[in-house]
Every structure is written in structure tokens, then in C-alpha cells.
Structure 1
Amino acid sequence: MVAAIFWSALAMSAIVGVRYLLASGGFALATRVRQPGLYRGLERQMRREIGWSLLSALIYGIPAGIVAWGWQARGWTRIYTDVAAFPIWYLPVSVLLYLAAHDTWFYWTHRWMHRPKPFRIAHAVHHASRPPTAWAAMSFHPWEALTGAVVIPALVFIIPIHVGALAAVLTIMTIMGVSNHMGWEMFPRWMVRGPLGGWLITATHHQRHHDLYACNYGLYFRVWDRLCGTDRGLGDFTAKARA
């Protein structure tokens, strides 16, 4: 049993690492095409981001691998494979529930990490990326990586979710994590500056967090930032804004 759990955790860490390299590499390539020269002079920083991110991938993979083994071998979780097990409308609802729960956890742990001691010990690693690049999405100190690694594995014991809906959650998490750090906005202006953008976090919103630090703590939604008075609106990507 111990060997099976070990290999499951190792395999999941490899999967998370490959997913990171493909996603961040893909967005870095898109940046090279859409914003030539944006990452010029940041080669050393990007190598550091990749190093921290691969360490984070290992940490993320361990609880995920243990849970994956428990699901397959012991039926521990509430992950299901039969679409008919719940009403079809529950599929998108479960995705939203997971995103909302993850966003809540992220907001409050992220905000806590901006207190002086946790910031100095752990979160400073992430903010050492100035400006962040597409490779910075998982550039965390191990203590910070651990706080993020437990969320989805914990939720699968609480909230029922179809394996396909879980894949959708992980895909959204990956895309948003990378695109919010890549230094330019991939979503159209009408969305970012319109009513929908008033509630969703995109690169333009998260950029202000990296510029000002004490604001815009959310991951997917601006709800907690708005409720708690920490929403400072949208940033921009000009050299002046980053200075």
C-alpha cells in the first residue's frame, strides 16, 4: 500500500510539473508572438521562476496523488464517474462551487501572507518576480505551495464532483494562474472593462496587485475584494505603472 501511494504521488507530481511546463511554456510562446521583447532581460528571473515552480509541482502532486490513490483503491472521495448520479444541471454548479471555495481560501490565505512575517518567510518568493512572467504562476516558496496544494484534494471529500467537471476546474485554475501573470491581457477590452470584468479577475486586475501589493487578493472573482474593500480596480502594463 505504501509503495502504491508513493508511486501515485510521484506520478501526480510529474503530471503537475508537465502541465505547468506546457501551460506556462505555451503562454510564454504566445507572449513572444503577441508582445515581442516583453520578457527581454528577464532570463535569470524566468529560470528562477521555473525552479520554484517545479518544486511547487512536486508539493502539489503529493496530496493529489494520495487522494487519487484513495479514490481508485478505497473510494474515499466524492468524485463520481456516472453522469446520471446527479442531475445534469449539477455539473456546472459543482464547477462554480469549487471555484468559489478555492477563491475564498485563496483570498484569505493570500491576504494573510501579506502580513510582514508570512510575507518575509514565504510570499516574498512570488513577489520577487517583478514584473511577473508566464513562468511565475507557480513560483512559490514551499510553505506557500503547501497552502495551495491542499485545497482541491480537501474539497473532493466534501463536495461531489464528476471527474470531467474536476478536470474543468483544474483547467480553469491552470489557465487563470498563468494568464494572470503573463504581463498582458488576453481577454477583449469589452469584457475586461465591462460589467463582466467588474466581477472576474483577469491579468489587468491582478497586475495591480503586483504593482501595489496591498490590494486585489482574489484568484477568480472580485467578490471578496469588493466586500472587504481591497479592490483597487484595474492596473495596466506600461513601464510607468511598473516603476
Structure 2
Amino acid sequence: MDLVLSICDDYALDKFWAAVLPASAFASSPSAAFLQASLNGSSLPVITSQPGKWSQLLSYIPHPPLPSAHELAPIAPSLASAWPRDYILRQFTSLFVLTLLGIHFLYFSFAWLSYRYIFNHEMMKHPRFLKNQVKLEIQHSLKAFPGMTLLTLPWFIAEVRGHSKLYDNVDEYGWGYLAFSTLWFLVFTDFGIYWIHRWEHHRLWYKWLHKPHHKWIVPTPFASHAFHPLDGYLQSIPYHAFIYLFPLHRLLYLSLFVFVNMWSILIHDSDMITGHPLETIINGPAHHTLHHLYFTVNYGQYFTWADRMGDSYRQPVSELDPMKEVQAHLAKQEKQALGKQQ
């Protein structure tokens, strides 16, 4: 997120924060007066003895010490705001808004594409498909996003403030490590999510923590983020913890972050296509469909090995396809309709 924040600061947020919280508004501070004079091109600052109402209002807002006169030449765009780039309250607020915007964009773009072009809409005739389920999934997701974002922000703040092991130059660790770190990220996070996910099914907290996500017995892609906020956050911990334990290229981490969200959407399309060559290795949509149908199988995220190790693996087979229940349900309705006509 530090890369995203830096780009947004360069192109928009420096100007935004300078307009919303201008350093010049804190007119009671001598350094603010010097800053105002420098920004206006004046040779001498003018300090007003009676600050305006806006300045009085802003004076109650916490801010770091404003730059002194000798630090104001040349003026950096970030100095025009009383909240410079490295101020933690600015970072917290900016990251909160950017993360919310980002997750909404990923959710509505990729979930809609999956729903439109991959999801079998015949599945909506399943007897356990809820009335107005798509609307309910979206509403549940939108309610969860702010809470999940707030819980995640400490990880992002620590990353932005330089406490992670993210790096910029591929030569620092080499191309071999770049390839290895990609696979290791998937293995590490898959293993962590498996145990967190399985722990969430414990009877002591399942009802209030994870059961809201299992409300969707036959999910659509819009159910991918329809969690209790704490549930969604807990399952994301391995992704965030990885970069504090192992070096990872900054752009690769951003790409994997997007991939994680896309994968979560993909595996919630209720697909039960079986017989492909990687079926016993990759924990795909068919496996996760069985998890929603039977609850205590296929906890993994990407691979099947953790479920095999934990004795919770169930092989997708065509006989378990929920579409068979749809067909049986439709046949029953048709038979009942014919009976009424007779």
C-alpha cells in the first residue's frame, strides 16, 4: 500500500490535504506565517493578530510541528498542508479511504464479471438459494468493508512507515528468489488460512463469527466478501504477516493482493466442473462449492494439501453437483403442476 499511497500523494492527495488542512490556516504559529508568505511569494510574512474563524476551528485539529522558516525553501508540495505525508493521522485517513475505494472497485468489477460470464444462473433455482440472495450478499459485503478495513489498517500503516520487508530492486534478491517468493507466498498463506478457517468452524464461536458467511449455501461471486468483519480480517492475516516475515518485491505484493481478491471471487461461483488434471492439487471452485454445501470439508484457499493433511479433504465428483438438485427440484415442481392440472 505504500506504493499506492505514494502515487496518490503525488497526483492528488498533496493538493487535497493542502486545501483541506493548509498550514497557513494555523496563523497563530510563526512558522505558518513564514509558510504563507513563501507560498504567496512575499519577502516578509505578515502575522495576523486576530486569526479568522476557519483558523480558529483548524487550531483544534492535532498536527505535527510546522516547519521553521529555514526549512521552507524550496517549498515542497507536502509542506503546504499542516498534515505532511509522514504524519500518521494523514496516513491513517488516506489509507482508509483508498482501501475502501479499492476493495469496492475490485469487488464490483470482478464479482460482476464472474457473475455475468462464469456463474451458472440456473443455480439460482436451487431450493436452498435464498430469496433476493444476490442483493443480500452485496448488502452484507458493503456492511463488512468498513470494519475489515479498520482492522487491517495497522498492517498498512506499519508497511507505509517502513517496518515491512518489501523491497524495490529485483537485483537485491535476484529473479530466482522472486519466483520462489511467489510460490512461497501462496503456500504460506494457504496453510495459514486453512487453520484459521478451520478454527472459525469451532462450535464456541462459529455461530456468530463464521456462520454469517455460510448463510449462502449456494453462493454467487458476490458472496466472496460477505463475511462478518472480524471473520474477513482473520482470514487475511497470513497475507499481511508474510511481508513482515519474508522479503517480497513491492510490485509483486500488490499484484498478489489483487490476485487474492480475484481468487476469492472465482471460487464462489458454485461451479462443479470436475475431471480437470489439477483437480487433486488446486483447491478450486468445485472444492469450495462442497465446503459451502457440507461445511466441514475443503477449508483450503489455493491447494488441497492442507486438507489432505488435516483429513478434511473431499474430492469433487459429478454426483455431488448441486445442479442435480436444481434439476430434481424443477422436475418435482413440473410434476406437481401437472398433477394440479389433472
Both structures adopt the same fold (TM-score exceeding 0.5): yes
Equivalent pair of 1:67/1:77 in contact (CA under 8 Å): no
* Distance in 2 of aligned mates of 1:227 and 1:150: 22
- Is 1:128 matched up with 2:215? yes
What is the DSSP-based 3-state SS (H/G/I as helix, E as strand, rest coil) of the residue aligned with 2:197?
helix
Equivalent pair of 1:103/1:220 in contact (CA under 8 Å): yes
* Distance in 2 of aligned mates of 1:111 and 1:64: 21
* Distance in 2 of aligned mates of 1:78 and 1:27: 34
Superposition CA RMSD, Å: 2.4
* Distance in 2 of aligned mates of 1:81 and 1:13: 25
2:294 to 169, 193, 212: 212
* Distance in 1 of aligned mates of 2:195 and 2:183: 18
Equivalence for 1:92: 179
Equivalent pair of 1:103/1:221 in contact (CA under 8 Å): yes
Equivalent pair of 2:96/2:150 in contact (CA under 8 Å): yes
Structure 1 residue runs of 5 or longer lacking an equivalent are none
Q: Which has the higher contact order (CA 8 A, sep 6+)?
A: 1
Larger Rg: 2
Q: How does 1:134-153 map to 2 (within 5 A)?
A: 134-153=221-240
Q: Give, as a single letter, the amino acid of the residue that structure 2 aligns with 1:27.
A: S
TM-score, normalised with respect to structure 2: 0.63
Number of corresponding residues: 235
Q: How does 1:57-72 map to 2 (within 5 A)?
A: 57-62=145-150, 64-72=152-160
* Distance in 2 of aligned mates of 1:150 and 1:210: 22
Residues 63 and 98 of structure 1: is their aligned pair in 2 closer, same or farther, counting only changes over 3 Å?
A: farther
Q: Give, as a single letter, the amino acid of the residue that structure 1 aligns with 2:265.
A: V
Identity %: 22
Moved more, 50-59 or 108-117: 50-59
- 1:137-184 CA-partner distances (Å, limit 9, x unpaired): 111012212202333222211111112221332233122211111122
* Distance in 2 of aligned mates of 1:26 and 1:43: 22
* Distance in 1 of aligned mates of 2:124 and 2:103: 24
Residues 146 and 68 of structure 1: is their aligned pair in 2 closer, same or farther, counting only changes over 3 Å?
A: closer
TM-score, normalised with respect to structure 1: 0.86
Equivalence for 1:238: 323
Residues 124 and 194 of structure 1: is their aligned pair in 2 closer, same or farther, counting only changes over 3 Å?
A: same
